[in-house]
Amino acid sequence: MKHDAQYFFDKLSAIPEERWNSGSFQDVDYHTGFETRCVFGLLGVNTTDCRLEGEALEFARLFGEVSDDHLESFKFFRCPGYHLAVSINNNPYGFLGHSHGYDQETPRQRILAALTDIIAKEVPIAT
Q: Is residue 126 in a domain? A: no
Between helix 54-62 and helix 5-13 the angle, nearest 10°, is 110
The answer to the question of residue 62 being in a domain is yes
DSSP three-state, residue 74: coil
Q: Which is higher by pLDDT, 67 or 13? A: 13
Spell out the residues 6+ positions from residue 73 whose beta carbon is closer than 8 angstroms to its own: 95, 96, 98
- Report if residue 15 sits inside a domain: yes
pLDDT digits (tens, 9 = 90+) for 85-112: 888 888 877 666 667 788 898 999 999 9
If one counts every other C-beta atom within 10 angstroms of the C-beta of residue 24, the result is: 14
**Which residues is 95 bridged to in the sheet?**
98
Q: What is the pLDDT of residue 71?
A: 42
The residue range of the domain holding 43 is 5-120
User: Is 125 part of a structural domain of the chain?
Assistant: no
Ranking 18-22, 26-30, 52-56, 62-66 by mean pLDDT, the lowest is: 62-66
